[in-house]
Chain A
Amino acid sequence: MISFQLSDHQQQVKEIVHWFAENEMRPISMEADRLGKVPDEWLERINQLGIQLSTSSFGGDKQKSGSGEKKKTERQGNRLAVIASEELGWGDPAIALTLPGPGLGGPPVQSSGTPEQKERFLSIFSRDEPPRWGAYALTEPDAGSDVSGIRTTAKKVEGGYVLNGQKIFITNGGRASWVVVFATIDRSLGRAGHRAFVVEKGTPGFSCTRLAHKMGIRASETAELLFEDCFVPDENLLGGEEYYQAKASGPSGFRVAMKTFDNTRPIVASMAIGIARAAYEYTLDLVRREYPKQGSFYHRASELLADAELDIEAARLLTWEAAWKADIGQPNAKEAAMCKAYAGKIALDVCAKCLELLGPIGLEQHIVEKLYRDAKIFDIFEGTNQIQHLVTARQLYEPHGVRV
């Protein structure tokens, strides 16, 4: 019942993504960090190879075997996604987040969009076209962790909605062809008033006002978006009116946001694990070569490395469990929160330990220094560490009637 053996397919995905990380991402990693962007020519070339950041590119659910016989294959998209993301994080997390494709905007469209919306928004990503991106805009100056506090408003008008508000820290928000934007139709309704809209680039009233300069993942575009009397047609309300009417009693748009997190948190966690592994592997190699083979330095180094290895393994197991639960269709909100909380924290810890072991060489223009800067955000985005603890606690105590 429990197995940690990768299937042939999973092993293959791990190998090819690792190959890509090592041979395509790493060579431009430091330069992209310095430039603060991933070179356009690189993105075009990668797009032509058909490489995209999309959780739906992993088949398994609708797969039919060649001879036409119907074989029931277990869904494994979430597991393949975390296996691949760990390697991408190992390669370069900022470049990973910049790979063409729907990115974090994919899951909400996939899980809540109408068939027509899925077709319209997800079919634009093709290797025969220029590279394109999707984005996901939830965070605002006064609402991030507290999703229910969003202030961007959506006012119903003839044929659609008019959006007003500001979104910050939106990955690929400036370059995206469309952005899934969360807004409220009535703040007094709380979560029930939330709606998710797909706003397309070039829509009048929608603009990117600033790109953030950050501590880490500098090559990844982090945008501030502004909506000023921005008209969005009815057909871009994610899921359509019926979706919200059917769930009139439920948490509606809030649910779209939360469902997304159950899929994306394990992916973010696995990227953090990849970062930790990259720093750890580099440092392990250096300690093996450069450190004295006995004495207190060696023992101290071995201890730190053993801690790092333990943290990485533990984070991976939590993450795989969250992905496995999602694949077999079990609720995984608690596991998704736990793996994200743990992986985000240990990524930073492991990188810090590695920097200690490297000493002065790790401090200047060095990959481990960069990984350390890159790691911090993994403890923050897709829900801060504190929020992950809150989600976990809620899942634990709700059955006992205790509201955290």
Chain B
Amino acid sequence: MAKNIQEYTVDEAWEEIEKNLQADPKPIEGLNVVYQYDITGEEEGTYQLHLSDGKAKVEKGTPAEPDCTLQMGASDFKDLLVGNLNGTAAFMSGKLKVKGDIGLAIKLESLLRKYDTSQYK
């Protein structure tokens, strides 16, 4: 249970995201958006988070056209997920790159903060 987020692989981290979003869909209600994550460096890969009508689905690759794409390293990705890394600070320091609708990226950050991530820290 109590495992630090950095001990998860990126694939496992995505499973956790899907699990958590599905368990509590309230914060994602009313959202219809496709986020794409381009993970660079170690554990390189592309993932998409599909949010629609309170449902969350994670896909590998690029099955859909993303509304907003976030590019970052695996370790920063995991830190960002649980709030160890501030999205705005990561962006300002160049750790995180955003393509597409910037507003959606900011929305995602505040959305993720509505989930309790203390078990992963």
Contact = CB atoms under 8 A, between A and B. Distances in A.
Contact of A16 (B41, B93, B98): B98
Given A19-B103, A23-B103, A66-B41, A127 B86 contact: yes
A49 B93 contact: no
Residue from A9, A16, A58, A80 whose CB has the most chain B CB atoms within 10 Å: A16
Main secondary structure of the interface of B (DSSP, over half): helix
A84 B92 CA distance: 10
Contact of B75 (A12, A57, A66): A66
B64 interface: no
A242 B110 CA distance: 44
Interface in A43-67: 48-51, 57-60, 63, 66-67
Interface in A92-149: 127
Residue of A48, A50, A59, A127 with highest tally of chain B CB at under 10 A? A50
Contact of A60 (B91, B94, B106): B94
A127 B110 CA distance: 11
B109 interface: yes
A48 B98 contact: no
Contact of A58 (B73, B93, B102, B113): B93
Contacts of A57: 88-89, 92-93
B76 interface: yes
Main secondary structure of the interface of A (DSSP, over half): helix
Contacts of B105: 16
Interface residues of A, number: 23
A30 interface: no
B97 interface: yes
Contacts of A13: 91-92
A8 B97 contact: yes
A313 interface: no
Nearest to B86: A50
A12 B42 contact: no
A49 B110 contact: yes
Contacts of A19: 102-103, 106
Nearest to A8: B97
Given A48-B113, A49-B106, A16 B91 contact: yes
Contacts of A16: 91, 98, 102, 105
Interface in B79-121: 86-89, 91-95, 97-98, 102-103, 105-106, 109-110, 113
Contact of A67 (B42, B91, B95, B110): B42
Interface of A: 8-9, 12-13, 15-16, 19-20, 23, 48-51, 57-60, 63, 66-67, 80, 84, 127
Interface of B: 40-42, 73, 75-76, 86-89, 91-95, 97-98, 102-103, 105-106, 109-110, 113
- The 6 A-B pairs at the shortest CB distance, nearest first, are namely A59-B93, A50-B86, A50-B88, A66-B73, A19-B102, A9-B94
